[in-house]
């Protein structure tokens, strides 16, 4: 199985196993690329559009976190690498927005995810969860495409 498909499959399975959208993608990346799984915690606050606020989709955030980890810029003087990573991130964001209509979670999920009630409503809405799962698949594919270039 190619890495793109492996990341997508793992990420969607992670989501089904109750990881949030950002964690789902990052965990899949960490597993497929044999990275330190403890890095997963970096994505925890990004589910539900950054801490449930409905801002940037967690699937997209998770993909961007994985992208940064993959290219591993460590020093400010690595300006060429920074430019490369930023360009790849912009491609992911633009393509995600083109395919979904918005990068914001609140434009796709109509629940207040800052509340327990809103999160429970989402978790009981199979249609909304399938939409999230499809966005996880899309963001996973976009990530994998940029990792291969």
Return the bridge partners of 104, or none.
56
Structure token digits, residue 55: 């801002």
The number of beta carbons lying within 10 Å of the beta carbon of residue 120 is 11
Taking a C-beta distance cutoff of 8 angstroms, is the pair 119, 110 a contact?
no
Does residue 1 surpass a pLDDT of 70? Answer: no
Greater confidence (148 vs 125) lies with: 125
Residue 37: name the closest of 23, 22, 27 by CA. 27
pLDDT digits (tens, 9 = 90+) for 129-141: 999 999 999 999 9
- CA angle in degrees (0–180, nearest 5) for 95-100-105: 110
d(CA 53, CA 4): 29
Higher-confidence residue of 4 and 89: namely: 89
- d(Cα 25, Cα 64) in Å, to the nearest integer? 10
Q: Flag whether pLDDT at 51 surpasses 90.
A: yes
Using a cut of 0.85, tell me whether the model's pTM lies above it.
yes
Average pLDDT, the chain: 96
3-state helix, strand, coil split of the chain in percent (to 5) is 70, 0, 30
pLDDT at 21 over 80: yes
pLDDT digits (tens, 9 = 90+) for 68-124: 999 999 999 999 999 999 999 999 999 999 999 999 999 999 999 999 999 999 999
């Amino acid at each position: 199985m190619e890495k793109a498909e492996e990341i997508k499959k793992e990420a969607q399975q992670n989501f089904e196993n109750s990881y949030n959208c950002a964690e789902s993608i990052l965990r899949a990346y960490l597993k497929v690329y044999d990275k330190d799984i403890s890095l997963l915690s970096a994505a925890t606050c990004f589910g539900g559009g950054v801490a449930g606020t409905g801002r940037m989709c967690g699937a997209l955030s998770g993909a961007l976190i994985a992208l940064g980890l993959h290219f591993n810029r460590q020093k400010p003087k690595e300006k060429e690498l920074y430019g490369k990573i930023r360009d790849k991130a912009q491609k992911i964001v633009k393509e995600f927005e083109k395919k979904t209509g918005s990068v914001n979670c609140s434009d796709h999920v109509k629940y207040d995810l800052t509340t327990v009630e809103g999160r429970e409503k989402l978790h009981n809405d199979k249609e909304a969860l399938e939409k999230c799962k499809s966005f996880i698949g899309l963001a996973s594919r976009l990530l994998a495409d940029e990792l291969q270039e």
